[in-house]
Chain A
Amino acid sequence: MVNTDTFGKLELELRRGVVVLATLSQLRAPRYGYELRQALAEKGMPIEEGTLYPLLRRLETQGLLQSEWKLEAGSQRRYYSLNADGRALLEKLTDSWQGMNAAMNALLKEDKT
């Protein structure tokens, strides 16, 4: 029987691998941190605030995102969106993910039969 702790650790590793791709995929249009988190959660990919907000800054430092402060509904919010490099990277990562996903599906289906 699989140990819950082992499952938790391995699942976390799987999630870590897709967090960046999931985040980039939702930044084709500008979004601020809290809005982005909700968009991800609604689509079945909840990411902890303590992970997501720093990640946005790191991606920006890496030159993949652009950001600006805007005043919306009486609050000042920092909006992030993909820049040209971010869009190119998202495209490449998407291809890579789809390739891996297809391979994994085939592998897992083979295992069930």
Chain B
Amino acid sequence: MKMNANEVVESYVTDVALRLPRKQRNDVAFELRALINEGLQDKSDETGRAIDAAMATEFLNAFGHPETVAARYRPALNIVDPADGQKFWRATSTGLAIIWGLGLLELFQTAPEVGFLNALAKWWMGTVIGSLWWPGVLVAGFGISAWAGRRWPQKTEWKPKANDRIRGGRLGIVMGLIGVMFGLYILAKPTWVLDVVWGGHAAPVAYQALTYTDSFLQLQGPILFVLMLLYIPFFIAVLVKGRHTPMLRRIETASSLLTCAVMLWAIMDGPIFMTATSDGVTKSLLLLIVIFSLSVMAIMRFRTVKPTPDQQVQIGR
């Protein structure tokens, strides 16, 4: 349907007004229409052309998209603070990559049974479409954080933090120490868990399931025990120093890498426990610990800043 200039203007004004709050909608529409008509008349006088739909469309396109113009009538609203833009993008892409990656692993496991195309369709619908909850959660989280920052600006003020501070504080170290002691006890006597839970009355098969194989007892077991034992003096040293000195940090990295290597060796070398189920569960847990520890180390390394000029410093004025 061919429109005349008036209809084009009406359509534009309606498109802008509909995006405004109801209480100011009609008033703004009335003013906007009058201003547009006056502008159009001026243009017609300048060019000596009669006002037509084409001239009105051209004029309104220069005026701006109705959505953009309507947005200018209201104060700018940023759900995610512009300062958090990069952080938001990184969190979104990393999270989606992990979710999609785990979904792909499942795809390759199920593909031989259900067929590649079916597995791919399931991955697309279940994992990719389903993963949109993640950006949604992030928008909500970042939005709340931005709102809180505006509401209580003093709470988000920058405060200096020592680079060698103990993350989690001294309490975190004490908890770590307790964790290591429990870990050592479980490593030395895994059936202790059964004694605690069932008061020593668990079925014999359960005790058998938590019995180490000879190879683990002779090889990886003692090494893991010693490595874990070394964490006790390490944690005590951190507690006494009150900070993570560079030397303590290096010792921690070396012992973590060594522990991860021994755990990986234990996972790949053969059974740890006598029964397949307990062995599988233990190996899965060990693998999770290795992945978590290596990820933490990688993140810490990525977040290290060493102020260095990116080219040779010239001597001169």
Contact = CB atoms under 8 A, between A and B. Distances in A.
Interface of A: 32-34, 48-51, 53-55, 57-58, 61, 75-78
Given A32-B35, A58-B73, 10 more contacts: A48-B63, A49-B36, A49-B63, A50-B63, A51-B72, A57-B24, A57-B28, A58-B72, A77-B34, A78-B31
A50 B64 contact: yes
Instruction: State which size class the interface on B falls in.
Output: 20 to 34
A57 B34 contact: no
B74 interface: yes
A88 to B, nearest CB: 21
Interface in B6-60: 24, 28, 30-32, 34-36, 38-39, 42
19 contacts: A32-B35, A33-B35, A48-B63, A48-B64, A49-B36, A49-B39, A50-B63, A50-B69, A51-B64, A51-B72, A54-B69, A54-B70, A54-B72, A55-B72, A57-B73, A58-B73, A58-B75, A75-B38, A76-B30
A76 to B, nearest CB: 7
Contacts, number: 44
Nearest to A49: B63
B253 interface: no
A51 B71 CA distance: 10
Contacts of A78: 31
Nearest to A77: B34
B45 to A, nearest CB: 13
B34 A76 contact: yes
A21 to B, nearest CB: 17
Nearest to A35: B38
B277 interface: no
Contacts of A48: 62-64
A33 B37 CA distance: 12
B208 interface: no
A34 B38 contact: yes
Contacts of B284: none
Nearest to A50: B64
Contact of A53 (B35, B68, B74): B35
A34 B39 contact: yes
A49 B69 CA distance: 9
Contacts of B30: 76
